[in-house]
Structure 1
Amino acid sequence: MDQEASLAKNNRQRRRLPGNDSGTTTKKGRPSADIAANLKLPAHGYPLEHPFNKDGYRYILAEPDPHAPFRQEFDESADWAGKPIPGWLYRTLVPNSVLLALHDRAPQLKIAEDRLAVTGEKGYSMVRATHSVNRGKWYFEITIEEMPEGSATRLGWGQEYGNLQAPLGYDKFGYSWRSRKGTRFHESHGKHYSDAYIEGDTLGFLIDLPEVENNEYLPSTFKDRPLVKFKSHLYYEDKDRVQETLKNFKALPQSKIEFFKNGKSQGVAFTDIYAGSYYPTISIYKSATVSVNFGPNFKSPEILTEYNAKGMFDRVEELISEQSLSDLLFLTENRGRLRLDNFAM
């Protein structure tokens, strides 16, 4: 049974990934709270073997949280033998650079070793970046490295629930710019936008998401989610909320997306887009190859100055701070309950 089939097969509240017994223990029968602590990750910070986001679930790589309360009590407790590790003892591993996501992509796409280029295969399929943005002005670039005859791309910005086995702009979760005829797409509706772009062109992608007062912008803590093990690493398992998200979609006034070709604006492509978190997103038809540039050394740096925008590389430190605050709030608000639920045995 292959990895994806294994994931699809296990669809219970605490589903088991291949090689997992959700009560991870040491030789003494106690849970190993730091199962992932000593496992060396590649330079880009993500396991080469991993569960893909699909089948209604998303998988978020976790690492031990040294600041979690009661950690020493947990390590010393003999009552935990054979029981699941509490998610609050871990935290989301926030990538230290913006790259193409290994896990948040269609499996058939070929990601370069440096995770800054991708090659397609057969029909349209998609990959998102590791970081998203939900307010402010942000920019990144893509260069068309190879565009064999018959191939095509749709590039732009997409939210987390966009269908990975479809072109960007297929559903409500994405906004794209197609290589053929320069068409722009959203919800499968294509409209003329610009001339086509071709092999050798460098494209710019600007999103403007005005901040709304009293909106909640912090990322999810995930500490209340179950942990599952895959290939010696632990992941938070989060169920997709597609229908709930669609039901609550609202246009964000004065928001916009603008595309650039070789440093020149092609005009505003979309306005009043849906509010939410957007990832740089690539979808490819057949064997085209593109490379991404999240900064800081852009080919058209003047765009950042002109539009008062940030490069995606600036999102790294922001997200680390936001994730830490989100985790801290969860631990502070739930400290009493965590002790009662997990140590009154």
Structure 2
Amino acid sequence: MENNHKNIENDPVYTGKTSLSKNNRQYKRKYPNSEAGPTGKKGRPASDAIATVKLPPHGYPLEHPFNKDGYRYILAEPDPHAPFRQEFDESSDWAGKPIPGWLYRTLVPNSVLLALHDRAPQLKISEDRLTVTGEKGYCMVRSSHYVCRGKWYYEATIEEMPEGSATRIGWGQEYGNLQAPLGYDKFGYSWRSRKGTVFHESRGKHYSEGYNEGDTLGFLIDLPEESIVNCLPTTFKDRPLVKFKSHLYYEDKDKVQETLKALKVLPQSKIVFFKNGVYKGVAFSHIYSGSYYPTISIHKNATVTVNFGPKFKYPKILKNFKCCGMNDRIEQLISEQTVSDLLFLTENDGRLRLDTFNI
């Protein structure tokens, strides 16, 4: 029987086009092994195959497609609230056809962690997904959650900084180049360990003294809300689904050039950094509007551990600057994603009904 979805298990990262069918420094870090999870039996419906594969405790497959080569991959899960799901499950006429994306939904993590898929592959991520170690040249990793309005804060501790290594840490948008330091392009704003220089668009300026092994840094972003801007996340229900190692992912093509052209300054926005609880001043002001992720870039083999809350080393910063820890974004993002999906299902009810009953 022909598979009823795209299969990319034999390709480390599938990049073909698909049709749009409907804290401690003494802590010994553990790194994920390379064993693949169980795969579904041939001929078994995708929904059954996916259901048999359990995710690791941190909620993301150990083997997964990386975001690169102009494509992004978003882990999907069955949407129990999707309309006509029962009719789809009971129908044999879907055999050999792509699974409609609207029967699934984006899997929103229930913890803020370092993203396994949204990173340079050479970076090593610890088992708890809170520590990253670099290798050779500059490259970076983003977090699993982003923010687009409000005041948000997270901390990062420099666990190891061998001679010759360096870091640039801060906030970055989704299209920032993963094989470059944060602040290399228009999509990122960073604070460098060497000389305390801050970077944006590869232009550096003096900001503070540098930081080193043992220092805990604070990163605050202030994004005033714009009444005309829709901050709801993208619903991927209209995107194609692809299969990789028995898990389904939405495949989305990068829109870098369109995003660059649409960038505009957000008035009164700013980024502030702290070193060991001490306010170092405004590093950037009037930054571009958009969605920002806590982002870490590392040169050579430095090691950094992030703290997204709720227990921060310097909790007074949240009170003094009236900001939220990144951990507060968890429930908020789940709610926003649900609203975005519901809007799609409501606006497309007629088409989905035709797709289901006129197979």
**Partner of 1:181: helix, strand, or coil?**
coil
Give me the whole-angstrom Cα distance separating, in 2, the residues matched to 1:4 and 1:31: 16
TM-score by length of 1: 0.93
Give me the whole-angstrom Cα distance separating, in 1, the residues matched to 2:52 and 2:334: 21
Q: Does 1:193 align with 2:198?
A: no
> In structure 2, what is the equivalent of residue 13 of structure 1?
18
Q: Does 1:149 align with 2:163?
A: yes
> Structure 2: where are the runs of 5+ without partners?
1-7, 21-38
Q: 1:10 to 1:261 in 2, by over 3 A?
A: closer
Give me the whole-angstrom Cα distance separating, in 1, the residues matched to 2:135 and 2:78: 37
Give me the whole-angstrom Cα distance separating, in 1, the residues matched to 2:346 and 2:69: 33
Q: Does 1:113 align with 2:127?
A: yes
Match of 2:330 among 306, 313, 316: 316
User: C-alpha deviations, 1:8-47, integer Å up to 9, x for none?
Assistant: 66422249xxxxxxxx9987x6743343223111000000
Q: Percent identity?
A: 77
Range moving further from structure 2, 31-40 or 79-88: 31-40
> In structure 2, what is the equivalent of residue 95 of structure 1?
109
> In structure 2, what is the equivalent of residue 330 of structure 1?
344
1:198 aligned partner, one-letter code: N
1:306 aligned partner, one-letter code: N
Q: 1:171 to 1:70 in 2, by over 3 A?
A: same
Give me the whole-angstrom Cα distance separating, in 2, the residues matched to 1:291 and 1:70: 45
Q: 1:84 to 1:314 in 2, by over 3 A?
A: same
Counterparts of residues 1-345 of structure 1 (less than 5 Å): 6=11, 10-14=15-19, 31-345=45-359
User: C-alpha deviations, 1:114-155, integer Å up to 9, x for none?
Assistant: 100000000000000000000000000000000000000000
User: C-alpha deviations, 1:275-311, integer Å up to 9, x for none?
Assistant: 0000000000000001000001101110100111000
Give me the whole-angstrom Cα distance separating, in 2, the residues matched to 1:129 and 1:337: 35
2:124 aligned partner, one-letter code: K
Give me the whole-angstrom Cα distance separating, in 2, the residues matched to 1:332 and 1:138: 32
> In structure 2, what is the equivalent of residue 21 of structure 1?
none
Range moving further from structure 2, 31-40 or 136-145: 31-40
Q: Give the total of aligned pairs.
A: 334
User: C-alpha deviations, 1:213-240, integer Å up to 9, x for none?
Assistant: 1310100110000000000000000100
Q: 1:322 to 1:214 in 2, by over 3 A?
A: same
2:216 aligned partner, one-letter code: T
> Structure 1: where are the runs of 5+ without partners?
16-23
Give structure 1 regions of 4+ aligned residues with deviation exceeding 6 angstroms. 24-27
Alpha-carbon RMSD across the aligned residues, in angstroms, is 1.8
Give me the whole-angstrom Cα distance separating, in 2, the residues matched to 1:148 and 1:53: 29
Give me the whole-angstrom Cα distance separating, in 2, the residues matched to 1:63 and 1:251: 36
1:6 aligned partner, one-letter code: D
Give me the whole-angstrom Cα distance separating, in 1, the residues matched to 2:166 and 2:159: 12
> In structure 1, what is the equivalent of residue 36 of structure 2?
none
Contact preservation (8 Å) 2:13, 2:65: no
Contact preservation (8 Å) 2:40, 2:50: no
Q: 1:34 to 1:247 in 2, by over 3 A?
A: farther
Could you tell me how far 1:269 is from its partner in structure 2? 0.3
> In structure 2, what is the equivalent of residue 19 of structure 1?
none
Q: 1:14 to 1:236 in 2, by over 3 A?
A: same
**Partner of 2:170: helix, strand, or coil?**
strand
Give me the whole-angstrom Cα distance separating, in 1, the residues matched to 2:213 and 2:10: 37
Give me the whole-angstrom Cα distance separating, in 2, the residues matched to 1:259 and 1:192: 13
Contact preservation (8 Å) 2:143, 2:293: yes
**Partner of 1:61: helix, strand, or coil?**
strand
2:17 aligned partner, one-letter code: R
**Partner of 1:207: helix, strand, or coil?**
strand
Contact preservation (8 Å) 1:31, 1:80: no
TM-score by length of 2: 0.90
Give me the whole-angstrom Cα distance separating, in 1, the residues matched to 2:232 and 2:144: 16
Q: 1:340 to 1:5 in 2, by over 3 A?
A: closer
